[in-house]
């Protein structure tokens, strides 16, 4: 077995922390994009329902 130098071990730990921080950034970005799609989709569906009510209210009977 080989011994690692203290600075090499610290370097590996720093790289691991950087990877975790980058991954957290990607996760946050993914959640923000997903929430944006959900909000946009909900508004599209609500607009469609409102349009149907409007057209139904103004239909010739």
The Cα 52–Cα 61 span in angstroms is 16
pLDDT score at 35: 97
Tallying the residues shown for the chain, one arrives at 61
The Cα 32–Cα 28 span in angstroms is 6
Q: HSE of 59 in the Cβ direction (CA atoms, 13 Å)?
A: 8
The structural domains of the chain, with segments of one domain joined by +, span 14-61
At 7, list the tokens. Answer: 């600075």
Question: What pTM was computed for the model?
Answer: 0.58
Q: What's the mean pLDDT in 52-58?
A: 95
The Cα 30–Cα 22 span in angstroms is 12
Whether residue 14 is predicted with pLDDT greater than 70 in this model: the reply is: yes
Q: What's the chain's average pLDDT? A: 84
């Amino acid at each position: 077995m080989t011994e690692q130098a203290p600075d090499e071990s610290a370097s590996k730990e720093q790289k691991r922390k950087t990877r975790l921080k980058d991954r957290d950034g990607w996760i946050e970005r993914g959640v923000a994009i997903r929430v944006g799609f959900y909000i946009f989709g909900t508004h599209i569906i609500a607009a469609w329902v409102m349009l149907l009510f409007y057209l139904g209210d103004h239909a010739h009977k």
